[in-house]
Amino acid sequence: MGIQITPSVLNADLSRLADEVARIPSADWVHVDVMDNHFVPNLTLGLPVVESLARHSALPIDVHLMIEDPDRWAPAYAEAGVGSVTFHLEAAAAPVRLARELRAQGARASMALKPATPLEAAEGMLGELDMLLLMTVEPGFGGQKFLDLVLPKIRRARELVSRSGLELWLQVDGGVSAETIGRAAEAGADVFVAGSAVYSGEDPDAVVRELRDLAHAASLTQ
């Protein structure tokens, strides 16, 4: 698939969600952050809104569940027609079983790691996943500063994926902008969540295209 840009609607005008998604036709996915005010200290959108957006969006939905008990709740998002469902390793009781259930429901299965969670905790499960999300900020709030300390983890993840021959996407989320996306792409990430950087611009779709070009150029230096 190459480089993919997945704008987060967390920083969009949530009262006009479908219209905001229509402003980013060049995006590969729409990233929706679901927070429960328990796993992270914030509360955002839930299943009914995601279901509605999935019906009205021309772009596939990439849901990031920052919630407790994803084993119970994540499959419903796959049933709702979401294209990719990400759950946190730190919150899942049975991550392999959950990944298999998401795939059985027709969604891509993705697992996220917080910045301090070691890559080794997920290494044995990569074959069960379609995407691995390495958080480049602490999950819970948009607009945070990109944590360069995650770059070595991204490089190790890329090496693992390359050695294994898996067709696994490597996503980063948090502080992604024109100033930081090159570093993440050079380290080996190929799917990029960008929220504030996209929706703070006068032309969000132009930002999407710029980010893709910057990431592509940086990825050629790997």
The backbone region for 165, taken as left when phi is positive above 0, alpha when psi lies in -120 to 50, beta otherwise, is left
Distances (CA, A) of 25 to 45, 105, 156, 172: 22, 26, 33, 21
**Which of 28, 62, 173, 190 is an active site residue?**
173
Burial (0-12, 13-18, 19+ Cβ within 10 Å), 94: exposed
Is 213 a residue of the active site?
no
How many CB atoms neighbour CB 178 within 10 A? 15
Among candidates 163, 157, 164, 165, which has minimal Cα distance to 190? 157
In which residue are the tokens 């027709």 written?
106
**Which of 28, 33, 36, 130 is an active site residue?**
33
Q: Report the DSSP beta bridge partners of residue 170.
A: 132
Is 205 a residue of the active site?
no
CB 63 within 8 A of CB 39: no
Compute φ and ψ for 117, nearest 5 degrees. Answer: -80, 125
Active site residues: 33, 173
